[in-house]
Amino acid sequence: MKIEKSINILNKRARFEYEILEEIEAGMVLTGTEIKSLRSSKASITESFCQFIDDELYIINMMIDEYKLGTFYNHKIKRERKLLLHKRELQKFQKKLKDAGNTIVPLKLYINDKGKAKIRIALARGKKLFDKREAIKDRENKRNLNRLMKKS
């Protein structure tokens, strides 16, 4: 089993599907087998989202594969995991979440220099279809420009 030094799990769909309003870093409450599985990059946050349950923020639908060497101590693959934020940050997010169309999405899951699992979450608003088309058009124009620059 290969354990990588730097873990960087991204949610590429989030920046395409949502307009990012505000970003923040949060810690997570994990079990032993979850962090071991995370260190070997066996996680996915593409379908996950954040939700308030009893004034505490949880990440829902985040998938962390079972640890290969774990026995009956292994964790559930998809479960609600509590996010660790300061009380004032939670209150600020909860207040802004009441606005119509706002949601909290995870952007990036990583392990910091101290070995702690961190997740970068963002307050976001869903993009309309024409905004998505505009993003695709900009990306294609940038690719074409880079191709032309390489040829010359």
What is the per-residue pLDDT for 126?
Answer: 82
- Among candidates 1, 89, 71, which has minimal Cα distance to 38? 1
DSSP state of 136: H
pTM of structure:
0.76
Which domains, from first to last, does the chain contain?
8-126 (2.40.280.10)
CA distance 41 to 67: 11
* Sequence letter at residue 145: L
Q: What is the pLDDT of residue 83?
A: 92
pLDDT digits (tens), the chain, 152 positions: 555 556 778 888 888 888 888 999 999 988 888 888 888 888 888 888 888 999 899 999 988 888 777 777 777 778 888 999 999 999 998 888 887 788 899 999 998 888 888 999 999 888 777 777 888 888 888 898 888 888 87
